[in-house]
Structure 1
Amino acid sequence: MQPATSSAAIRLPVGVATVSTMYSGTDYTADSQGIAYAGAQAIRIPAKWNLIQPGAKQSYTWSELDDAVTAARAAGLSILMNLEGPAPVWAQKPGANPFANGNAPDDPADFQDFAAAVAKRYSSRVTAWEIWNEPNLSRYLIPPTAAEYVPLLKAAYTGIRSAGSGQPVITGGTSSSRENTRDTTFISDMYALGASSYFNGIGVHPYTFPYGIAQDPRYGDGGGAAVIYGARSLMVANGDSAKSIWITEFGFPTGSTTNSVSEANQSKLILDAINRANSLSWIAVFFIFNSQDLTSNKSIEDGNFGLYRYNDSAKPIVAGLRSLLE
């Protein structure tokens, strides 16, 4: 990425991703207020299909998402709503493991109907829509290919527009992991399958932990951050230069694993990444993952990305963001 520039003028909207709606009993007000206190302007909220429509096609459970949206707007936050899987059991493919988190629907039309229902209910309070989460990983989409994803993207886009929502539709943020389909390959394949007419921006998750966004030595091509320039090149080559890249997740764990960093370095590395992204006019937004640690166990890597610790106390990144953004 570009060298870090002065933090005097951050034109880039900065948000925080939350996983609050995945955990019943979450204090949505505290979650949103904590994000706003850190100086962030936006929140990424997951609308989990299997949790909202668990029992039958015409039955919806809105209470958790209602509370999350109400709290976010009360805190003055713009909302990026992430419509993500897995498909509920009734919509899954025959023979699918009902417990797999990556289950896609047997019929994308069911996802279209879900997207339309969500858009009809929330479009007046949502700024943008993101379709699925890390679809290039099998833990989120089975199989993790553009051929499986693009019909879901088209279905969701069609459903959202049919509900009267004109807000931007963003592709599901791709993982920078090389575990399954590489992010740049996935995006290239999306274009080859004619996806361009069904999105207004491309979502990426350019994780580089434990290294800084410009210092990752892995893979020989810039590590996780390589997707930022790789995706941009693909957009330009396919006539989409007017569209933007949306960083919908980026962060560092502060636990005790080999990929963890100290709390002080978490702050330093995130602020550096925001400054670098701020210098690229075709990056539309930067979302930090995650609002709060999910556990007090420091050996669980995915549970320690928070701006706030499990006991609600602030890590240094909160003061750092306030200084940078306010």
Structure 2
Amino acid sequence: MFKRASLLLIGLFASIAAQAAPMFNTALPVPLGVQIMPKAVTDDDLARIKAAGFDFVRFGVRPPVALLQPGVIDYDRLLARINAHGLQALVTLFGGNQVWGNTVAADPQPAEAFAQFAATFVGAHLDQVQAWELWNEPEIKTFLTPGNEAVFSNAVAAFCSQLKAANVKPKHLMGFGFARFPYSDSRYARFGSDIERAAKQGCITDISVHPYRRTPETVSQDYQVLRANLDAHGLGTIGIVSSEWGYASYFPVRTQAMQANLLLRMYLANIAAGVKAASVYAWKDSGSVAISREQNFGLMQADEVSKPALADIQAALATLKHFTLQGYVKTGSLNQLTLKDGLRQLDIFWADQGRMPVRAALRGYSSCQQFALAAGDERSSCSPDKGEFELNVDTRPLAILTVAP
């Protein structure tokens, strides 16, 4: 069951991942990171992030003049602490409406000022940072007002020129942390020329997107469209990264159990698409107001109590280590993700919504186990009927692990 469709779909997705060198060292099907707050992250946080199975952390840096950054953060020490805990780093070079002061006019050459800061920071930390992200969500007014679009384009061009002049060559530099998929919305077509110019100059190596949505599995179509658009614009070597994506647990919209389920499906959807890396937003809640969406994206509560999502992700990552993508097929609301590790094969089934019976064929095996891909679920032996087994599948990913004879 699904074999032919699976082979077809893996062909569609393979080109997303088959770009250049790996972005992060990882034993996972897709490298996974988590967003941290640079001013607040503790060594205990970093130790727990590593123990949970994450490969890297993501955080942003801004010029010292930024009104959004009161006080100075010791980034040298932060990066040293991150590396000491065996974690890698994805650093976002933040721009924003207030990055140069109250107005753009606060600096006579705002584009050059940002470019100088960003290029200098990259050059100083090239050995401590595995991947860089230039800017963050330029379509959103929080980070770029329409009146500053020319400044943004000039800043990108100046940054790339300064890197080249200094002979600074980061292996992985992505742009621009899009909140909406580039090329898919005519209102944001203006960023296409910035992408193409920077990519063709060899400045950016990847496109980064933030695919927030209600149903994680719908992302596969958006990734396909983005890949096709990049290829059509001569950017076939440019990879795709999901650098920020999460689900908040907030009253009365979403429980912590619902958050856990969506985050796990989110990671599986990114594996299915073969993106170069993915990052969860965020490690810890930024507040404790139960009805606030923005304050409750964390895997940990603000009071240091872990949510179910952390345990589920840790259990899933432990299971997924050393497996690689073999195929993915989606039939209506049903998803099947197939991963392999030598003689071991892992088939994961789940539904976008509701509950449905599934009857699927088992390959020949010497052992077979069935379990939910979450914390605390015990494994049981598979019991096929004439080479097939029946499952009742819902939104909780259900795994079948077989070992070839």
TM-score tier, shorter chain, comes to 0.7 to 0.9
Q: Percent identity?
A: 21
Three-state SS of the structure 2 residue aligned to 1:123 is coil
TM-score in terms of structure 2 length: 0.63
Q: Tell me if 1:239 matches 2:234.
A: yes
Letter in 2 for 1:278: I
Secondary structure of 2:43 counterpart: helix
Cα deviation, residue 115, structure 1 = 1.2
Instruction: Render the CA deviation track for 1:237-271: whole Å, top value 9, x for unaligned.
Output: 112122211101111010115xx421112111111
**Aligned equivalent of 2:146:** 143
Find out whether 1:254 has 2:249 as its counterpart.
Answer: yes
Name which one, 1 or 2, has greater alpha-carbon Rg: 2
Residue number among 56, 67, 82 corresponding to 1:42 in the alignment: 56
SS of residue in 1 equivalent to 2:244: coil
Count of residue correspondences: 285
Structure 2: 5+ residue stretches without partners:
1-8, 11-26, 319-405
Q: CA deviation at 1:31?
A: 3.0
Could you tell me whether the CA contact under 8 Å between 2:260 and 2:309 is conserved in 1?
A: yes
> 1:71 & 1:280 partners in 2: Cα distance?
32
How do 1:1-326 and structure 2 match up within 5 A?
10-18=28-36, 20-21=37-38, 23=39, 26-49=40-63, 52-53=64-65, 63-86=73-96, 88-89=99-100, 92-94=103-105, 106-143=109-146, 147-161=150-164, 162=166, 164-176=168-180, 184-185=185-186, 188-193=189-194, 194-197=197-200, 198-208=203-213, 211-214=214-217, 227-256=222-251, 260-281=253-274, 283-326=275-318
Distance 1:143 1:105, change over 3 A: farther
Distance in 2 (alpha carbons) for counterparts of 1:144 and 1:43: 32
> Does structure 1 conserve the Cα–Cα contact (< 8 Å) formed by 2:175 and 2:207?
yes
Pair 1:231–1:152, CA change in 2 (3 A): farther
Q: Give the deviation of 1:91 after TM superposition.
A: 9.1
- Give 1:121's aligned amino acid: A
3-state SS, counterpart of residue 146 of structure 2: coil
- TM-score (norm. length: structure 1): 0.77
Query: Which amino acid in the other structure matches residue 280 of structure 1?
Result: A
**Structure 1 residues 243 and 145: CA distance shift in structure 2, 3 A:** farther
Structure 1 unmatched runs, 5+? 4-8, 56-60, 97-103, 215-221
Match of 2:357 in 1: none
**Distance in 1 between residues matched to 2:299 and 2:228, nearest whole Å:** 32
Change in 2 beyond 3 A, CA 1:36/1:88 = same
Q: How far did 1:305 drift?
A: 0.2
Which structure has more relative contact order (CA 8 Å, sep 6+)? It is 1
